[in-house]
């Protein structure tokens, strides 16, 4: 459909639940009216990181007030596994403890407080074994969850030896807790025939359905997983929601009662995985302009105690360690390290951010070693024309708009003048130092596991002309539901308000992929359009018959059907169509074309296209304490032709702040016993309103739309903006370089402590 005929798509429509959210009417799982006889489940946790349970006395737990029953590993009727792929995540430990906090039993009680309090009363004896907590411990002991992996091209050893300049560096990259405001929650209602209706706050209803069915030993058809909305997901509810649904389902099966489980914030943080910590080591050769000639990069990923999604996450880190830059001779090594900590998982960017940050550090390092502005180094390294347009995994960067986008942002942010002002400020100031940085993002869109790039939708047209819309995508705040509804409304030429968005459920659309990899709108928007267009085709054919016209002459616009000079209200057409026995329900199915991946060679076209963006950050640091302030941020981001510019802007701003938080104040600390010490907002600090930049300019890149054939030529927007936050880390690095005159030892997150110690490392004392 040409843009001129779009009435809802491209409009800055409000989030589908905006009104309900601001009035408190939007219901999340824990807000649903509780069914009679509801029991509350709560997990009991291991208090060591590694070892065996020797004895477990649960008598005090069972005797506690309100306790109805206990769930032990032997009570699981089917498979004791809630892993997404590898079968290595027990729902309840079978005796071997692999991280501090691992579930060793669960309590069913009349109230949640009773269940929580009772779960503390277990007496457990352990035989402790050696625990690997840090990356270093795991790496030096070759403790891995999956085999090492390599990709690259050229003879890096030779090319490094030939390079005009060469340097080595190392960067530690911290993890990140999702800190979705709604923690994990599931409520399970048992039905007849052993069926289970599972309300689960999950980005992956199909996987939760499979896990619940498998742990109960029933067919998939016996389990329906339903989710209307989550209070945030960010990847944390992709593979790690199932465990809680399984525990509730097992409890429901045991007792015949409905069962709810909702983790306390601290337990949510202790019991569920986070963004992977990484350590990047590089050996890079470059010319006198800073143009990379060869690079050898090793990425160590801390996966935790099980594989979860770590294989694909570490792959994506490798595939993004080029970011927007051409690496002519390159070797990328990845290790997937096993530690005795919670199993790290998907988090917005899915390994990509760690890869991007690694190469951006290389850019900053090269610039400081040559004494030139890092933007110049970045620019000479960008992907370009033939010969400089293939990734390390041999995919052509066919849609490269990074040079143009960066040029526009450099101008609109007044970068060069501000660089001069920063130099002047730093000359005048001893105690405060400024840094400025522009960093780009290029992010590959598609699941790297090719088979996951598929989606289904179900559209019904009812007799009054209202539409029921369902698809496999889940709503976690990102605005997917309204975007897909906009697409469907335009298929029928009707107002958005006539499209009813219904809860995602495995009973309506089966075999779905998770809402992840930024792909929600690309996949489900297309599937819903296919379904809607199928019905529209039938209606067009019917209308053509009514008015003795050609099907191609039928137009749907302004809530009417127009055939030549004839006009008919959409509702009237629908009524007539039903009377004439026209089917007004259709599924839609979409799979992303063109993509493929060869695991053996580490080459292929894993991505349908790339999304681009760039950010300029200016920061000031306090050299007494390492505290800092983000003075100004300018962002230019590419969303193709936006489906909904308001929603997209919200994703960009929110993603940027979340990325900034990852690299600044959000610090995960484990002690040597493997206990997470930062397991609540009192100790784990995500950005507040005050941390946002004083000046914050965000614009959408005005280009020719997505060169790949996506839904109305839009681009995915969920993950890419997170990496814009790297501009803040790079600007902090720049501020320290400006103070000390050399590349500091500054790891991520750059907490005030890290910044002050970096200044001291560079011998800059107040």
Partner 1 sequence: MTSRSAIRFWFRGELQVIEDFQPTETVLDFLRLRQSACGTKEGCAEGDCGACTVAVVRPVGEELRIEAVNACIQFLGTLDGSVLFTVEDLKMEGDELHPVQAAMVKHHGSQCGFCTPGIVMSLFAQTHQNRPADRAELEDCLAGNLCRCTGYKPILDAGIDATAVATDTAEIYRETISEIHDEGELLAGDEGRFFAAPTCKSSLLKLVAEHPDATLFSGATDVGLWHTKLFRKLPKLIYLGRVKELLAIDESAHELRLGGAVSYERARGAFGALDSDIEELIRRLGSTQVRNAGTIGGNIANGSPIGDTPPILIALGASITLESIRGARTLPLEDFFIEYGKQDRAADEVLTEIIVPKLSHSQRFRCFKLAKRYDQDISSVMTGFCFTIEEGKIVESKLAFGGMAGTPKRATNTEAALRGKTLEEACSLVENLSSDFVPMDDHRASADYRMISAQNLLKKALIELSEEEKVATRLKPREAIHA
d(CA 673, CA 650) in angstroms, rounded, equals 40
Residues 359-418 within binding reach of partner 1 (CB under 8 A): none
Please pick, from the candidates 426, 681, 745, 761, the single residue that binds partner 1 as defined by CB under 8 A. 681
Q: Please state the closest distance from residue 478 (CB atom) to partner 1, in A.
A: 7
Q: Which of these is catalytic: 224, 534, 719, 753? A: 719
- Run of H or E residues at 663: helix 645-663
**For partner 1, which is the closer residue by CB, 201 or 524?**
201
39 lies in the site for partner 1, by CB under 8 A? no
Count of residues in contact with partner 1, rule CB under 8 A: 89
476 lies in the site for partner 1, by CB under 8 A? yes
Instruction: State whether residue 361 is helix, strand or coil.
Output: helix
Residue with tokens 């702040």: 657
Q: Please state the closest distance from residue 31 (CB atom) to partner 1, in A.
A: 4
**For partner 1, which is the closer residue by CB, 428 or 581?**
428
Q: Please state the closest distance from residue 379 (CB atom) to partner 1, in A.
A: 28
709 is catalytic: no
478 lies in the site for partner 1, by CB under 8 A? yes
Please pick, from the candidates 423, 696, 699, 713, the single residue that binds partner 1 as defined by CB under 8 A. 696
C-alpha of 346 from chain center? 6
**For partner 1, which is the closer residue by CB, 288 or 682?**
682
224 lies in the site for partner 1, by CB under 8 A? no
Q: How many CB atoms lie within 10 A of CB 56?
A: 17
Q: Please state the closest distance from residue 434 (CB atom) to partner 1, in A.
A: 11
Residues 486-525 within binding reach of partner 1 (CB under 8 A): none
Instruction: State whether residue 22 is helix, strand or coil.
Output: helix
C-alpha of 101 from chain center? 24
**For partner 1, which is the closer residue by CB, 234 or 729?**
234
Residue with tokens 């309506």: 508
Residues 705-764 within binding reach of partner 1 (CB under 8 A): 751-753, 756-757, 760
d(CA 693, CA 654) in angstroms, rounded, equals 12
683 lies in the site for partner 1, by CB under 8 A? yes
C-alpha of 517 from chain center? 6
**For partner 1, which is the closer residue by CB, 129 or 266?**
266
Residues 591-650 within binding reach of partner 1 (CB under 8 A): 620, 622, 624-629, 646-647, 649-650
Q: Please state the closest distance from residue 341 (CB atom) to partner 1, in A.
A: 15
**For partner 1, which is the closer residue by CB, 22 or 36?**
22
Residues 179-198 within binding reach of partner 1 (CB under 8 A): 179-183
Q: Please state the closest distance from residue 185 (CB atom) to partner 1, in A.
A: 10
Angle at 601 between CA 596 and CA 606, to 5 degrees: 25
C-alpha distance from residue 317 to each of 151, 341, 535, 660 (Å): 12, 20, 42, 18
d(CA 755, CA 760) in angstroms, rounded, equals 9
d(CA 45, CA 315) in angstroms, rounded, equals 32
Q: For residue 390, give both structure tokens.
A: 């293939």
**For partner 1, which is the closer residue by CB, 363 or 663?**
663
Please pick, from the candidates 506, 658, 714, 730, the single residue that binds partner 1 as defined by CB under 8 A. 658
Q: For residue 592, give both structure tokens.
A: 């992303």
d(CA 397, CA 700) in angstroms, rounded, equals 21
**Count of residues for the chain?**
766
Residues 8-37 within binding reach of partner 1 (CB under 8 A): 12, 14-15, 17-28, 30-31, 33
Q: Please state the closest distance from residue 620 (CB atom) to partner 1, in A.
A: 6
Residues 417-436 within binding reach of partner 1 (CB under 8 A): 428-432
Positions of E strands within 67-206: 67-71, 96-97, 103-109, 123-128, 144-153, 165-173, 185-190, 196-200
Q: For residue 440, give both structure tokens.
A: 């780009």
Residues 150-179 within binding reach of partner 1 (CB under 8 A): 178-179
685 lies in the site for partner 1, by CB under 8 A? yes
579 lies in the site for partner 1, by CB under 8 A? no
DSSP tally for the chain: helices H, then strands E:
20, 29
Q: Please state the closest distance from residue 433 (CB atom) to partner 1, in A.
A: 11
Residues 99-158 within binding reach of partner 1 (CB under 8 A): 116-117, 120
Instruction: State whether residue 637 is helix, strand or coil.
Output: strand
Cβ(707)–Cβ(644) under 8 Å?
Answer: no
* CB crowding 129-140: b at 16 or more within 10 Å, else e: eebbbbbebbbe
**For partner 1, which is the closer residue by CB, 66 or 687?**
687
d(CA 456, CA 473) in angstroms, rounded, equals 9
Active site residue ranges = 719
């Amino acid at each position: 459909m040409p843009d001129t005929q779009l009435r809802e798509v491209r409009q800055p429509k409000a989030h589908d639940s905006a009104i309900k959210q601001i009035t408190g009417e939007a219901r999340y799982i824990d807000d649903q009216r509780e069914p009679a006889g509801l029991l509350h489940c709560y997990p009991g946790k291991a208090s060591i990181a590694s070892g065996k349970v020797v004895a477990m006395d649960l008598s005090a737990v069972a005797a506690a007030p309100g306790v109805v029953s206990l769930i032990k590993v032997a009570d699981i009727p089917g498979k004791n596994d809630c892993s997404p792929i590898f079968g290595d995540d027990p729902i309840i430990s079978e005796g071997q403890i692999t991280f501090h906090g691992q579930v060793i039993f669960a309590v069913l009680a009349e109230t949640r407080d009773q269940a929580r309090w009772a779960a503390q009363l277990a007496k457990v004896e352990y035989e402790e074994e050696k625990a690997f907590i840090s990356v270093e411990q795991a790496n030096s002991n070759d403790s891995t969850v999956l085999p090492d992996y390599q990709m690259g091209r050229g003879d890096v050893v030779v090319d490094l030896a030939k390079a005009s300049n060469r340097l080595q560096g190392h960067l530690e990259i911290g993890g990140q807790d999702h800190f979705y405001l709604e923690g994990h929650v599931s409520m399970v209602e048992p039905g007849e025939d052993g069926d289970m209706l599972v309300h689960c706050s999950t980005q992956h209803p199909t996987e939760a359905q499979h896990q619940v069915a498998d742990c109960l030993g029933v067919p998939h058809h016996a389990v329906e997983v339903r989710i209307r909305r989550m209070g945030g997901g960010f990847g944390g509810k992709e593979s790690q929601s199932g465990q809680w649904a399984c525990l509730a389902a097992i409890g429901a099966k045991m007792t015949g009662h409905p069962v709810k489980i909702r983790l306390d914030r601290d337990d949510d943080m202790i019991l569920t995985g986070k963004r992977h910590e990484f350590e990047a080591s590089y050996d890079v050769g470059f010319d006198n302009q800073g143009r990379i000639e060869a690079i050898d990069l090793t990425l160590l990923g801390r996966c935790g105690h099980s594989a979860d999604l770590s294989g694909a996450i570490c792959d994506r880190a490798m595939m993004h360690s080029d970011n927007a830059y051409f690496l002519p001779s390159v070797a990328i090594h990845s290790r997937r390290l096993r530690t005795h900590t919670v199993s790290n998982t998907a988090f917005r960017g899915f390994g990509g951010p760690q890869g991007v940050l690694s190469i951006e550090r290389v850019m900053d390092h090269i610039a400081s070693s040559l004494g030139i502005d890092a933007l110049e180094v970045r620019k000479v390294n960008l992907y370009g024309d033939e010969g400089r347009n293939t990734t390390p995994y041999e995919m052509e960067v066919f849609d490269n708009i990074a040079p143009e986008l960066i040029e526009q942002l450099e101008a609109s942010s007044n970068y060069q003048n501000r660089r001069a002002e920063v130099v002047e400020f730093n000359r005048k100031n001893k105690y405060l130092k400024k840094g400025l940085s522009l960093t780009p993002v290029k992010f590959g869109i598609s699941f790297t596991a090719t088979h996951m790039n598929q989606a289904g939708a179900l559209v019904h047209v009812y007799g009054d002309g209202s539409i029921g819309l369902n698809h496999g995508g889940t709503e976690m705040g990102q605005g997917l539901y309204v975007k897909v509804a906009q697409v469907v409304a335009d298929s029928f030429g009707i107002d958005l308000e006539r499209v009813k968005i219904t809860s995602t459920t495995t009973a309506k659309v089966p075999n779905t992929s998770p809402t992840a990899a930024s792909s929600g709108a690309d996949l489900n928007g297309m599937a819903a359009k296919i379904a809607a267009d199928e019905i529209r085709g039938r209606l067009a054919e019917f209308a053509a018959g009514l008015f003795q016209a050609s099907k191609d002459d039928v137009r749907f616009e302004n809530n009417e059907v127009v055939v030549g000079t004839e006009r008919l209200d959409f509702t009237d057409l629908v009524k007539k169509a039903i009377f004439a026995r026209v089917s007004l329900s259709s599924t839609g199915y979409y799979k992303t074309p063109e993509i493929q991946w060869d695991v053996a060679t580490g080459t292929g076209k894993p991505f349908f296209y790339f999304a681009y963006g760039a950010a300029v950050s200016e920061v000031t640091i306090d050299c007494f304490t390492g505290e800092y302030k983000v003075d100004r941020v300018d962002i230019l981001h590419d969303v193709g032709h936006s489906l909904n510019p308001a929603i997209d802007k919200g994703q960009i701003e929110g993603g940027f702040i979340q990325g900034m938080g990852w690299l600044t104040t959000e610090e995960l600390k484990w002690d040597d016993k493997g206990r997470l010490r930062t397991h609540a907002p009192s100790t784990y600090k995500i950005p507040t309103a005050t941390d946002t930049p004083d000046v914050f300019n965000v614009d959408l890149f005005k280009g020719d739309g997505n060169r790949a054939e996506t839904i109305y030529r839009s681009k995915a927007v969920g993950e890419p903006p997170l990496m814009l936050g790297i501009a803040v880390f790079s600007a902090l690095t720049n501020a320290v370089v400006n103070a000390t005159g050399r590349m500091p030892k500054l790891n991520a997150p750059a907490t005030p402590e890290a910044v002050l110690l970096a200044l001291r490392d560079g011998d800059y004392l107040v």
